[in-house]
Structure 1
């Protein structure tokens, strides 16, 4: 699968526009994209990063890292996923960077998702759904998830880049991710849900092939 990840990361380069600012996600597949992006660093203004991990890699390769508040809308966002259904709806957040990832995706005209074939599923939910929560709301959110038939597990010892905690929800088969995303967003204390369904990917690359 690592070869598919590398191919996907390198293939995403063809969507990068000269003179633009690139939104960059997080994870092992994105790391290949960042390596490839270094060859274009003189043709872009820079990148907006979703995590401290990606920021460090970008800076190490000499790619300017910019703040989203200073850039305005982005032309493209490139990121991986933990699961992708046939409608390009995603589960993300295995790396606990889901809030910043969702913000950058919302700010981008085109969302290019890069995955290997193991991430392709018919129905979302086999991968536990990450939810970022404000620490004091962990038990409240957990009870609300149980009411909805999920099994919440606190990702103990993990603190997000925003200083929050992550709950992973097991046991859901998510037939209607748009409705579930909207419902969960109404629970007080939830910062971000790892469902990217209201704002799904525009392009999904499995290796170097478009889905």
Structure 2
């Protein structure tokens, strides 16, 4: 079955398969959103069904919650969990300091809340997500619908004084209508091309009235697991300063692929 997967999907699967090794029995685990995180949820579901792993999952979106329930993971809210042992999620970009851009799937608010309520955040990604400088991927900013055009104008003005290469701001659409997040908000995508000072940008943008949260994750990620199309994975621990390489075997009969 894995022979039918593209190299990118194999890389995502390899990263997800390695990342779930961090999960132990009895843990409360934040479950990320996106294509790579979906592989991770399926891997955890297989461990629950086949190995008897007992965990409680806190999803970061409605669609992740639905998938988690489908694969047999017990789902609870963050209020019920109060604090998490671990969160595993994907990223749209990450740099050498493991700072991230997230929110391409529109779940950045819940993702950031869940990640910061965890003892550890592990990011799973393919090699294409690694960048020297953040910003090639448009930065998502979640805003309330009321007065969103005013909020966009204030963001436009703020960007003039920030270290960025581009300043185009667009409203994310879903067909003919604005995209709506799980919290009922809109998303403005900031096409910055290069972010010279992510920390400053995050602080400035979040001070603008109407902004709920932005997709910069600064000093939140502890470990990134980078997957390659041949099954190789790199585990980079920012706190320990270590990089480990392993090889993940693709099992043709893996139940994980039955629902794809």
Same fold (TM over 0.5): yes
* TM value normalised by structure 1: 0.96
Matches within 5 A, 1:152-167: 152-156=169-173, 157-167=178-188
Q: Distance in 1 between matches of 2:36 and 2:192?
A: 26
> Aligned to 1:201, which of 206, 210, 221?
221
Matches within 5 A, 1:174-185: 174-185=195-206
Partner of 2:140, secondary structure, is strand
1:189 and 2:206 are equivalent in the alignment: no
Aligned equivalent of 1:210? 235
> Aligned to 2:146, which of 127, 131, 136?
136
Aligned equivalent of 1:96? 106
Structure 2: which 5+ runs fail to align? Answer: 1-7, 161-166, 228-232, 237-260
Structure 1: which 5+ runs fail to align? Answer: none
Runs of at least 4 residues of structure 1 off by over 4 A?
none
TM-fit CA distance, 1:151 = 1.3
Partner of 1:59, secondary structure, is helix
* TM value normalised by structure 2: 0.78
Q: Distance in 1 between matches of 2:133 and 2:63?
A: 30
Q: Which has the larger radius of gyration?
A: 2
Cα RMSD (Å) of the superposition? 1.1
Kindly indicate whether the alpha-carbon contact (under 8 Å) linking 1:145 and 1:151 is maintained by their aligned counterparts in 2. no
Assess, with a 3 A threshold, how the Cα gap between structure 1 residues 145 and 3 changes in structure 2: closer, same or farther.
Answer: same
